[in-house]
Structure 1
Amino acid sequence: SSLEGLGLVMRTPDPADRRAQLLEVTPEGRAKFDEIRDDPSERTLRDKLADWDLDDIERLAALLHALNDES
């Protein structure tokens, strides 16, 4: 919902299953993604996480979300 509100993704009903929704990146979302991907500080973080186990990355993401929710 947040990404949709920011205009970064567009949600449409799945024609095969009306209970589901399809997400599509908007041109603005693609531009923002490319901008972040090309940022040197983002590359550094990506490089640091490259050797991490997926479970550890998911745990980090959950902790960061929890920290953000407390603000």
Structure 2
Amino acid sequence: MTKKDLSPADARALLMEILRAELARILDRQAEAAIFEYINGFYSPRRRHSALGWKSPVAFEGKLA
């Protein structure tokens, strides 16, 4: 298929499809980065755990040192 085979409406529709797919990829990467940052920045190191006597892993390790 060449450019000449596409009508202006088809070309616009194809462009919109490509842009939507690229935007979805960008948003997926941003969401993945935000979730990773939350888990590794707050949830895992600072959240209190019952197995650690309701202390955060950071506080628990600090008490051991």
Tell me the TM-score normalized by structure 2. 0.35
- Structure holding more helix per residue: 2
- Structure holding more strand per residue: 1
Larger CA Rg, structure 1 vs 2: 2
Tell me the TM-score normalized by structure 1. 0.32
